[in-house]
């Protein structure tokens, strides 16, 4: 694919943003593209994910997204293979003797209403989201295009070895990384690059290896009380609202840890029906993070204790469900050095940083750790892009020049790695 084909594909995916486990159109389009390439393996849906998945929407919601994908022209035979919300794909190309190198890109979108302002390029250029209320507000549309571009660039070269490209679903809810990491497809990978555009770095800047991923664990807790008339029989109620409120304020009271940074946040609370009813059911959604996986686990254990105790204090029951989770990791120096050297020599790259702290979380860490635990190297590369709005906002957009730069940097880095020691 030429650079302008990649831009066109990015715009097409931008028009069809889909959230975690609902990337039906996106996966179908990627598979269609991959089928045109000379591959030795193309694995789709259930073949690229371990069975143990969390956060899968109910059948009605999955069906609605399949229907939307079908209406948009997704191929029926591919859609059938994604039944149950098994989205994503892995492409494998074997080109003789050499190491196995890999690239991971994510493909999902966010529940955000996209700006229709004339200053917002997707709106003025006619590729604004057609799935109202959803938006590619993090650049994963560009990531999917970059994945195909890197595949083409490596296969067009004299590469010797095996190349795998992972098109991962469900990053935004940090639910796709773990089942893909456990699929077995990473177990023979010697070097893995993951990529993100933007992250407040301008077009032309490349970060060879991002560090400082916070380990994260998200939870949903549902408090169940006993309803009662708030005026006539308040004493016979067990108040789920009070239990939830007690939990929220005490979650923020978990002690800091001497070993490093931690975070806690409750981002959603909902429940109750009327002022004169002692609330029967209240749900909260929150998350804890840590500079290391151990610090995150410390926060997670304490958070669960707070939630259970808050329920107990107010005579309520509580169900705590784990939502997304991701470990911490670092980019490896050997791979970071290769990317840095290649980037400094790539047209369009104006500055290269060896490292930067993400300060957030990413479930690419599951894939990176899988490779690192087996003796391979992994690095998380950031390719800067001028983005008018911040990530996860309605005016986020990608400077499309970034797509070509990212393809060059990543493809040439994988090639350079594969030739090490020649
Ligand atoms: Zn994001
Ligand atoms: Zn992202």
> 237: domain CATH number?
3.30.70.360
Q: Would you state the pLDDT for residue 372?
A: 97
CATH assignment at residue 115:
3.40.630.10
Contact of 362 with 215, CB cutoff 8 Å: no
If asked whether residues 96 and 232 sit together in one domain, one would say no
If asked whether residues 249 and 385 sit together in one domain, one would say no
Neighbours of ion ligand 2 (CB under 5 A): 138
d(Cα 279, Cα 263) in Å, to the nearest integer? 29
d(Cα 196, Cα 214) in Å, to the nearest integer? 16
- pLDDT tens, position by position, 358-413: 888 899 999 999 999 999 999 999 999 999 999 999 999 999 999 999 999 999 99
If asked whether residues 79 and 171 sit together in one domain, one would say yes
Backbone φ/ψ region at 73: left (φ over 0), alpha (ψ -120 to 50), beta: left
Distance 135 CA to ligand 1 centre (A): 11
Q: Would you state the pLDDT for residue 360?
A: 85
Ligand nearest to the CA of 391: 1
If asked whether residues 22 and 152 sit together in one domain, one would say yes
- pLDDT tens, position by position, 213-245: 999 999 999 999 999 999 999 999 999 999 999
Q: Would you state the pLDDT for residue 242?
A: 98
Distance 360 CA to ligand 1 centre (A): 10
Q: Would you state the pLDDT for residue 421?
A: 67
Q: List CB contacts of 245: < 8 A, sequence separation 6 or more.
A: none
If asked whether residues 303 and 368 sit together in one domain, one would say no
- pLDDT tens, position by position, 296-319: 999 999 999 999 999 999 999 999
Contact of 110 with 47, CB cutoff 8 Å: no
Distance 415 CA to ligand 1 centre (A): 28
Distance 376 CA to ligand 1 centre (A): 26
Inter-axis angle of helices 24-35 and 59-71, nearest 10: 50
Share of the chain above pLDDT 90, in %: 96
Ligand nearest to the CA of 143: 2
Strand, helix or coil for residue 186: coil
If asked whether residues 322 and 336 sit together in one domain, one would say no
Distance 385 CA to ligand 2 centre (A): 13
Share of the chain above pLDDT 70, in %: 100
If asked whether residues 205 and 77 sit together in one domain, one would say yes
Backbone φ/ψ region at 260: left (φ over 0), alpha (ψ -120 to 50), beta: left
The pTM score is: 0.92
If asked whether residues 312 and 344 sit together in one domain, one would say no
If asked whether residues 66 and 139 sit together in one domain, one would say yes
Please give the mean pLDDT across all residues of the chain: 97
Residue 294, pLDDT > 80, answer yes
Distance 130 CA to ligand 1 centre (A): 19
What is the pLDDT averaged over residues 92-112? 97
If asked whether residues 275 and 303 sit together in one domain, one would say yes
If asked whether residues 333 and 322 sit together in one domain, one would say no
Q: Would you state the pLDDT for residue 358?
A: 85
Q: Would you state the pLDDT for residue 420?
A: 87
Ligand nearest to the CA of 173: 1
What total number of domains does the chain contain? 2
If asked whether residues 74 and 127 sit together in one domain, one would say yes
Domain enclosing residue 358, as ranges = 3-211+329-418
- Where is the domain boundary, 288, 309, 326? 326
Strand, helix or coil for residue 5: helix
Residue 422, pLDDT > 70, answer no
- Where is the domain boundary, 278, 307, 326? 326
- pLDDT tens, position by position, 316-344: 999 999 888 899 999 999 999 999 999 99
- Where is the domain boundary, 264, 297, 326? 326
User: Dihedral angle at the C-alpha atoms of 385, 388, 392, 393, nearest 10 degrees?
Assistant: -170
């Amino acid at each position: 694919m030429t650079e302008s084909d990649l831009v066109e594909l990015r715009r097409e995916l931008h028009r069809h943003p889909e959230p975690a486990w609902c990337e039906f159109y996106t996966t179908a389009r990627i598979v269609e593209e991959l089928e045109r390439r000379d591959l030795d393996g193309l694995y789709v849906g259930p073949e690229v994910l371990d069975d143990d998945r969390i956060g899968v929407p109910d059948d009605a919601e999955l069906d609605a997204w399949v229907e939307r994908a079908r209406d948009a022209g997704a191929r029926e035979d591919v859609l059938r293979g994604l039944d149950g919300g098994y989205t994503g794909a892995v492409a494998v190309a074997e080109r003789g003797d050499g190491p196995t190198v890999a690239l991971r890109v994510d493909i999902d979108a966010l529940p955000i209403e996209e700006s229709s302002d004339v200053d917002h390029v997707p709106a003025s250029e006619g590729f604004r989201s057609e799935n109202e209320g959803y938006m590619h507000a993090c650049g994963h549309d560009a990531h999917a295009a970059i994945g195909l571009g890197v595949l083409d660039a490596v296969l067009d070269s004299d590469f010797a070895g095996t190349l795998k490209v992972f098109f991962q679903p469900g990053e935004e809810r940090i639910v796709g990384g773990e089942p893909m990491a456990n699929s077995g497809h990473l177990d023979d990978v010697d070097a893995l690059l993951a990529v993100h555009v933007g992250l407040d770095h301008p077009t032309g800047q490349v970060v060879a290896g991002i560090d400082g991923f916070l380990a994260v664990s998200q939870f949903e807790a549902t408090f169940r009380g006993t309803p009662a008339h708030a005026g006539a029989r308040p004493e016979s109620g067990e108040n789920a609202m009070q239990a939830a409120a007690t939990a929220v304020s005490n979650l923020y009271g978990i002690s800091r840890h001497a070993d490093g940074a931690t975070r806690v946040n409750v981002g959603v609370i909902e429940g109750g029906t009327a002022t004169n009813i002692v609330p029967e059911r209240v749900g909260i959604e929150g998350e804890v993070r840590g500079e290391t996986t151990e610090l995150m686990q410390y926060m997670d254990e304490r958070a669960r204790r707070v939630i259970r105790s808050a329920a107990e204090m107010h005579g309520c029951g509580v169900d705590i469900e784990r939502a997304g989770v991701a470990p911490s990791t670092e980019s490896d120096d050997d791979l970071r050095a290769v990317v840095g050297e290649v980037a400094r020599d790539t047209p369009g790259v104006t500055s290269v940083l060896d490292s930067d702290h993400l300060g957030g979380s990413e479930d690419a860490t599951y894939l990176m750790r899988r490779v690192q635990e087996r003796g391979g190297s992994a690095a998380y590369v950031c390719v800067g892009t001028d983005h008018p709005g911040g990530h996860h906002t309605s005016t986020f957009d990608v400077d499309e020049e970034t797509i070509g730069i990212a393809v060059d940097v990543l493809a040439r880095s994988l090639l350079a790695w594969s030739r090490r020691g020649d």
